[in-house]
Amino acid sequence: MKSTLKHRYISVILFLFFNIIFSQNNLLEKIIPKVSDKKIDSILMLLTLEEKVAMCHAQSKFSTKGVERLGIPEIWMSDGPHGVRAEISWDSWNYAGWTNDSITAFPALTCLAATFNPKLSSQFGVSIGEEALYREKDVLLGPGVNIYRTPLNGRNFEYLGEDPYLASKMVVPYIKGVQKNGVAACVKHFALNNQEHLRNTINVEVSDRALYEIYLPAFKAAVLEGKVWTIMGAYNKFRGTYTTHNPTLYKILKKDWGFDGVVISDWSSAHSTKEAALYGLDIEMGTGTDGLGSNSKNHYDNYFLANPFLELLKSGDISESIINDKVRRILRLRYRTNMNLSRGFGRINNKEHHDVAKKVATEGIVLLKNENNFFPIEDKEGLTIAVIGENATRSMTAGGGSSELKPQFEISPLEGLKQRYKKAKIIHAMGYATGPSVYDNVIPSKFNQDSLRVEALGIAKKADIILYIGGLNKSHLQDCEGDDRQSYKLPYNQEELIDQLKAINPKLGMLLVTGNAVDMPWLSKIDGLLQTWYLGSMAGHAIADVVSGDVNPSGKLPFSFPKKLKDNGAHFYGELSYPGDGTNQYYKEDILVGYRWHDTKEIEPQYAFGFGLSYTNFNLSEIETNKTKYSLHDTINVSCKVTNTGEIKGSEVVQIYIGKEKSKVKRALKELKGFEKVNLDKGDSKIINISIPISSLAFYDESISNWNIEKGTYTVYVGNASNNVTKTITISVK
């Protein structure tokens, strides 16, 4: 069972003792995360082949074996892209029933991406890492950086949007923040896991250009810039081979990028002993765990990297050098985590973490529409606000699959509004209800839907303003692991309910609670629209701050909202492009993902990537580059004066896109290459400078299987959304 803190230190002391015997390095070097190969090899010499193999596969749902006789501790993992998951039983998916495993639920990663604030991402990472450390976890299974390709993907809410540059810039500080605590971040899912439907069988066919330019950059940044310690494989296949042990991806990750960490399978994503051994997998998790008895078919010793691996090693079919490489990586991971004596004890559910969760939530909320200045809503005597919608009270930390959380508390939107509004009267009705979800099944609601609707319409008649809180939730076939959404529309007849509310009371605003874009035929019926995501423990307080105007919204969309599903590049080409024919899937939109598709094909989105309004106004002026002619080793420096011309403090995100004129290869009209968030008091101005290396303008040239920079004319686009450009500048590259 899990080691106590006392046992951890005993293990560390024993482990260091053996290091002293077999290495000449001094003791100080034994307790720092950076470890030499010589030191690791001194331990490798002590291990039997059986002990090495045992380190390469699970011993429980979320742990791997240590070596007791040498004081080498177990490795303990936890799900957690936006919070440390509750304790799971040793050998089943049932919760263990602990009373001390409640945590802070942070906003989902779509919200983090919407902040466009890497510094805040660092605070997010530090905080969640501290909570993982307090829970004695060595590996935090997150963050996710799979690209938002289709708005139907059930797990989009766990990822960082549709743009590889934005995802890269947000994931690196997150990783560094987590790992400051001596807890490994585990970036997932490597790679091309861009849908949940058919995820265990679908074979993805994609060009090298799209692979390198769209789907790999965030992983590459995680490795080369974030120095991430672990990476999780994906379920799907790529070019006929499962991605968890794929020779092409293995070469890219461990050879081309020089990744020195541990590759961990997603739970049951390994399918072959020999392929897993030869093509990059280091630790296999979750491949059948129905018991601990030796006669059980799925006993841990029967994993692909367990007894079958041992037999191939003993027979000589696989060289012992293969397992030695895996164990070296696993030992290096231990030195960085539970064998690191400088590691602290962590903190959990403290005010600082709650403040970070709230800050991310408020900065990530996106104001999409604000006709007649519907928002902010003033707290004043005599005002009655009807809060209608199930999402006003439904828990958004429960459900969703492996991202499900057990927070110490979760402030609902209704509770947050009631606490904030002291003068106005707030009344509430659900309007509709959905039942609980148990991973792949939604239990019917116990409520009568007609009665709920009648009640909501009655409440609406009594109000001065209606604030409808709807959207999706984290149930099966919505924003949830295991499968995708089956419709682009809002579920549970919400469109009809919105129409009926509008007919009763024209002052109608909406809080859209989703991790995904949705169809908006109802958009003309509402005056104000806030995209609020899944905001975690502090959801209600963050929402109330923005609705009331205590906080000025500054979030920007990390993905495009197409007007209809066919306007999305993945869906334009039909079934073979998404979801595939059951066996194969072809990414026919190629590099034109998200705004790249909308811009290049001149298809107007409902809301564009990078879009987000404010309660104040900003002006971008004095935009210029340091020069107009560049060589390959130069850097483009873009300067811009940002002025808050409104009446209150606020933040704007300056975004820089670059496109190539008359390219010899297919290109997007423009691509995000730089951004900066600026906070200004009313009337204040600031000149910002954003640097863009010419090397970042390279495309992946399939004719030479390498990156290439075209000479010629480029256009620099400066604005505050992908479709709202203030100025363009023409430059040339020699």
> Do 458 and 411 share a structural domain?
yes
User: Are the C-beta atoms of residues 726 and 638 closer than 8 Å to each other?
Assistant: no
* pLDDT for res 331: 97
Residue 202 lies in a domain: yes
Tens digit of each residue's pLDDT (9 = 90 or more) over 598-640: 999 999 999 999 999 999 999 999 999 999 999 999 999 999 9
C-alpha distances (whole Å) from 321 to each of 70, 273, 325, 349 are: 21, 16, 6, 44
* pLDDT for res 436: 82
* pLDDT for res 299: 84
Range of the domain at 692: 616-733
* pLDDT for res 24: 39
How confident is residue 295, by pLDDT bands cut at 50, 70 and 90? low
Helices (H), 573-694: 595-601
How confident is residue 296, by pLDDT bands cut at 50, 70 and 90? low
* pLDDT for res 21: 42
The CATH number of residue 373's host domain is 3.40.50.1700
Q: Considering 336, 352, 383, which residue would you say is the last residue of a domain? A: 336
Average pLDDT over residues 45-69: 97
pLDDT over threshold 70, residue 6: no
* pLDDT for res 8: 52
Closest listed residue to residue 495, CA positions, set 524, 534, 459, 464: 524
* pLDDT for res 20: 46
Average pLDDT over residues 380-408: 96
Tens digit of each residue's pLDDT (9 = 90 or more) over 92-141: 889 999 999 999 999 999 999 999 999 999 999 999 999 999 999 999 99
pLDDT over threshold 50, residue 458: yes
Token pair, residue 517, equals 């874009």
> Do 315 and 369 share a structural domain?
no
Residue 269 lies in a domain: yes
Q: Which of 138, 266, 527, 590 is catalytic?
A: 266
pLDDT over threshold 50, residue 684: yes
Crossing angle of the two packed helices 164-179 and 118-134, in degrees rounded to 10: 40
> Do 286 and 215 share a structural domain?
yes
The CATH number of residue 202's host domain is 3.20.20.300
* pLDDT for res 600: 98
Kind plus residue range of the DSSP H or E element containing 502: helix 494-504
Average pLDDT over residues 581-589: 97
Counting the structural domains of the chain, the total is 3
Tens digit of each residue's pLDDT (9 = 90 or more) over 701-725: 999 999 999 999 999 999 999 999 9
The CATH number of residue 642's host domain is 2.60.40.10
Average pLDDT, the chain: 94
> Do 386 and 307 share a structural domain?
no
> Do 394 and 505 share a structural domain?
yes
> Do 622 and 553 share a structural domain?
no
pLDDT over threshold 60, residue 649: yes
Tens digit of each residue's pLDDT (9 = 90 or more) over 523-576: 999 999 999 999 999 999 999 999 999 999 999 999 999 999 999 999 999 999
> Do 214 and 123 share a structural domain?
yes
Q: Considering 543, 559, 575, which residue would you say is the last residue of a domain? A: 559
* pLDDT for res 176: 98
> Do 419 and 284 share a structural domain?
no
Among this protein's residues, is 266 annotated catalytic? yes
> Do 395 and 319 share a structural domain?
no
pLDDT over threshold 60, residue 292: no
* The residue type at 432: Y
Token pair, residue 477, equals 């076939």
Residue 124 lies in a domain: yes
Query: Rounded to the nearest 5 degrees, what angle is found at the Cα of 314, between the Cα atoms of 310 and 317?
Result: 95
How confident is residue 438, by pLDDT bands cut at 50, 70 and 90? confident
> Do 308 and 166 share a structural domain?
yes
Cβ neighbourhood burial of 509 (10 Å; 0-12, 13-18, 19+) = buried
Residue 620 lies in a domain: yes
Q: Considering 542, 559, 576, which residue would you say is the last residue of a domain? A: 559
Residue 354 lies in a domain: no
Residue 344 lies in a domain: no
Residue 353 lies in a domain: no
* pLDDT for res 469: 98
Place of tokens 């482990």: 15
Residue 350 lies in a domain: no
d(CA 410, CA 398): 10
* pLDDT for res 293: 53
> Do 453 and 318 share a structural domain?
no
d(CA 670, CA 721): 12
> Do 133 and 43 share a structural domain?
yes
Average pLDDT over residues 489-510: 97
